[in-house]
Amino acid sequence: MALLLLFWSLLTPAVSRAGLQERVSEEVLANGLKVILLENHKAPLVTFQVWYRVGSRNEAWGKTGLSHMLEHMMFKGTGKVGPEEFSRIIQENGGNTNAFTSRDYTAYFENLGADRIQVALELESDRMQNLILREKDFQTERMVVMEERRLRTEDNPRAYLLEQVEATAFQTQPYHWPVIGWMQDITRFTLSDLEEHYRTYYNPANAFLVVVGDFEKAELLPKIENTFGPIPGGVVPDQERGIDPPQTGERRVIAKREARTPFVVMAYHVPNLRERDSYVLEVISALLSEGKSSRLYQTLVRKERLALSVETDHSLLSRDPNLFYVSAEPLPGKEPALVEEALAREIERLQAETVEDRELEKAKNQIEASFVFGQDSPFFQAMLLAWYEIALTWRAIDDYLVSIRSVTPQEIKRVARRYLIQDNRTVGILVPLHPEEGKARPPGSCTGEQTVR
């Protein structure tokens, strides 16, 4: 471990000095479309990504799941490209394509050889304005989405529990409902609902492009202007949404589902990267669960032998304030109540004791290593730029390591006392039921940012 820490202490200052902000360029076309470009000449490849500022947070009660459903329909063709031809054309050009929807965004990408980027430009600019929504395609694709929900949530006990915890923790803001939508809403919304969603949110003023790879900006930018520039800009939709008021008491959820083992999750309301405290929570997350030397693993898994696994999750880059999760899978025969008490003791330890410098330094080094390794591929560099752009601005990327490095032991104690308290949490317990005879065992799941494809 000492050698690893020395390695990173030598590497990360150089990386920080050559931060992404110094290498990224931003242009805004006349129709309002923002273009974020990062040249990376390590390999003759390029990732081309189109991000729309629309996700489940932009939906309404009774119409949940529209953003994800529209993502499926975006592959149903235009006047130039037939149904399901989009992916085939990309594959014939040696690339791959996909899309995903979250609470805050819907994104589409193509990974191609650098000499084929014009293919992606023409296909994506075409479906930004010329998508054809047909009733027959809608009816078929809705059945696909309903089956997807059954598979990923209804038949996944931990995903079901997590959905119930979030629906209980969020009572005002749209993070209350799942990205894929409630099953009742999926069965009710219509083709005209999708058409309105497309007209409202799919336009240059509500989108941005991220391109990372082997290109020259001076050559690529005119191509982007030629393909996306003629599209009418549209209107910037209202993005303000209600935020939950402070929670004033613990909430609890019990879910009884067919499962192998119980599961315990605690979810605390916390801020996002717009507040300094969120960076402190990043360090707290690493202290608690990053690696086998982390506090939760050492206590619950190794010493007390209460849990099979432990995990924390913090959504720094959500557009609105989100939740900080602490979870554990009890060992067979161990009561969830004992596991919950052990998790709570480790939280209380953060509030009562000052973290030693060596342990704090190790957590920061782990975060830095993960951050630097994460930028190894052009695809993830593009993802990182886009996540920050959605949450605040891509220019905030270079603040990350600086903010992490400046976290003090006193801040950890203060933030743990402010947010990781009983009155601010929702506790979820999965009570396993035995599967019916002859029925397959249900799969597991984990906490974390919801992204659906």
Angle, helix 117-129 to helix 85-92, in steps of 10 degrees: 170
Instruction: Tell me how far apart the alpha carbons of residues 362 and 393 are, in angstroms, rounded to a whole number.
Output: 29
Query: What beta strand segments (E) does 90-194 contain?
Result: 96-102, 106-113
Q: How far apart are the first and last CA of the chain?
A: 38
Bridge partners, 46 (sequence order): 112, 213
Structure token pair of residue 169:
């923790």
Which H/E stretch holds residue 225? helix 217-228
Is 282 a catalytic site residue?
A: no
Rounded to whole angstroms, the Cα distance separating 414 from 161 reads 30
Contact yes or no for 227/126 (Cβ under 8 A): no
Q: SS3 of 204, please?
A: helix
Long-range contacts of 300-305 (CB under 8 A, 24+ apart): 300/328, 300/339, 300/342, 300/343, 300/346, 304/342, 305/331
Could you say which of 22, 27, 71, 290 is catalytic? 71
Residues marked active site are found at: 71
